[in-house]
Amino acid sequence: MWDILYSNDAVVMNFAQAVLRQAGIASFVADEHISIVEGSIGAFPRRLQVPQEDWRQARVVLEEAGLSSWLLAEGEGPG
């Protein structure tokens, strides 16, 4: 799985997942449990991951949905 989006905004994360689901691309939210542990105050951003083979198509779909400013470049990780 490759990181494609990094955000502490739950609305952005849910929207991105819905867009990917509609396009038939699997996704996984990493770091979701740390958010619950820290009380859901949004201090720890979550990472949206997709399979490596779907990364480019997922990026296109998310860009078309207006999420360009949250997307990571290929091979880029948070921090």
What are the residue boundaries of the structural domains of the chain, listed by start? Answer: 2-70
Say what the pLDDT of residue 44 is.
Answer: 74
Model-level pTM?
0.82
Residue 3 belongs to what H/E stretch?
Answer: strand 2-7
Say what the pLDDT of residue 46 is.
Answer: 86
Q: What gap in Å lies between CA 28 and CA 51, rounded to an integer?
A: 9
pLDDT, one tens digit per residue, over 8-55 is 888 999 999 999 999 999 999 998 766 555 655 556 788 999 999 999
Say what the pLDDT of residue 42 is.
Answer: 58
Say what the pLDDT of residue 79 is.
Answer: 42
CATH of domain 2-70: 3.30.70.790
